[in-house]
Amino acid sequence: MKSVLKMGWIAVCAAVMGTAQLWGAGAAPAASKGDDAELLQMIRTAMSSRVMIMKAVKGYMYAGNHVATTKAQKEMVESLKKFDAKQKKLQEAFTDPKIKNLMMFIQMNEEELKDLLKEPYSLENAEVIIDLGEAISEGEKKIGDTLRKRLSGNYPAAKGQRYYVAQVALYYMAYQAGIRDENTIRKMERIVKTLDQLIQESKAYPGNTVKMNQVINQIEKLWKVVHQFYLDIEEGGLPLIVYQTTDKLDKKFFEYAQLLNESLKKK
Least confident of 1-10, 25-34, 38-47: 1-10
Sorted by where each begins, the domain ranges of the chain are: 34-265
This prediction has a pTM of 0.84
**pLDDT recorded at residue 10:** 36
CA distance 51 to 53: 6
Helix orientation angle between 182-204 and 161-177, rounded to the nearest 10 degrees: 160
Buried b (16+ CB within 10 A) or exposed e, 210-235: eebeebbeebeeebeebbebbbebee
Would you call 165 helix, strand, or coil by DSSP? helix
Residues 87/102, Cβ–Cβ less than 8 Å: no
Main-chain dihedrals φ then ψ at residue 23, nearest 5 degrees? -105, 20
Is the pLDDT assigned to residue 241 strictly greater than 50?
A: yes
In single-letter form, the type of residue at position 112 comes to E
Q: DSSP string of 148-163?
A: HTT-SS--GGGS-HHH
The dihedral built from the CA positions of residue 228, 229, 234 and 235, taken in this order, carries a sign that is positive
CA distance 114 to 12: 21
CA distance 84 to 107: 9
For residue 243, count CB atoms less than 10 angstroms from its CB and return exposed for 0-12, middle for 13-18, buried for 19 or more.
buried
* CA nearest neighbour of 65 among 125, 2, 136: 125
The neighbour count for residue 51, using CB atoms within 10 Å, is: 28
pLDDT, tens digit, for every residue of 9-37? Answer: 333 343 334 333 444 443 344 445 557 87
pLDDT, tens digit, for every residue of 65-109? Answer: 999 999 999 999 999 999 999 999 888 887 777 778 888 999 999
Is the pLDDT assigned to residue 200 strictly greater than 80?
A: yes
Would you call 60 helix, strand, or coil by DSSP? helix
Least confident of 5-19, 27-41, 48-62, 172-186: 5-19
* CA nearest neighbour of 166 among 58, 44, 76: 58
